[in-house]
Amino acid sequence: MKAKDEKMPLWTLPNRLSVIRILFIPLIIIFIEKGFFFTDSLLFIIAGITDGLDGFMARRLSLGSKFGVHLDSIADKLLVSSVLIALTYYRLVPLWVTIILVGREFIISGLRSFYAMEGIAIYPSFPGKLKTTLQIVGISCVLFHPRLQEAGLYIIYAALFFSIFSAGHYVLAIFRSQPPEEQETSSSEHTGLENKD
């Protein structure tokens, strides 16, 4: 969790890659509808590569920014959530898995937006990035070939585990980000309630 002031051009190369990833989404959904799963898997893999590439370029070329972090996160969530919903519609991924994965993204995104208004940026954690990587690999396997669908599902289940784990990590990071005076106030209020009882 970090809060810092950054001045960086809006449309850096990493940010453009994130936008390209978003633009891939309608194409992938259309190809899933048409049953062109092999083409879908290639597009999805390329989109997944841009996810790692934009982060690498941001670090390597010192082009990281708060906007870039949030844009990258939004692109990841839109890509994975859209494809998961489409695969669930075609009964290739269980509904309950998609509900948990997509629901978690909405909750964490909401928390990020709320704390962003307070001037606090919640940066992706390692478990969160690992979750995204596993989702991309698992979905790619499901799309690539029927023989890989079972293996892909197991990888998605692993992503589900890290999704829940990283959500707990974010919540803990948010709690720790409270200023000391706020934590003391919360503690004193809690103590006061206990004394009244």
Characterise 35 by phi-psi region: left (phi > 0), alpha (psi -120 to 50), beta (else). left
Q: Assess if residue 134 is contained within a domain.
A: yes
169 touches 134 (CB < 8 A): no
Q: Assess if residue 197 is contained within a domain.
A: no
The partner residues of 2 in beta bridges, in order of sequence, read 121
Q: Assess if residue 196 is contained within a domain.
A: no
Domain region containing 23? 13-177
- Residues 116-171 have pLDDT tens digits of 676 666 666 788 888 888 999 999 999 998 889 999 999 999 999 999 998 887 77
The pTM of the full predicted model, rounded to 2 decimals, is 0.78
Domain total in the chain: 1
The answer to whether residue 82 scores a pLDDT higher than 70 is yes
Tokens 């969160």 locate to 128
Q: Assess if residue 185 is contained within a domain.
A: no
Which CATH number belongs to the domain containing residue 93 in this structure?
1.20.120.1760
- Residues 13-54 have pLDDT tens digits of 888 899 999 999 999 999 998 888 888 899 999 998 888 888
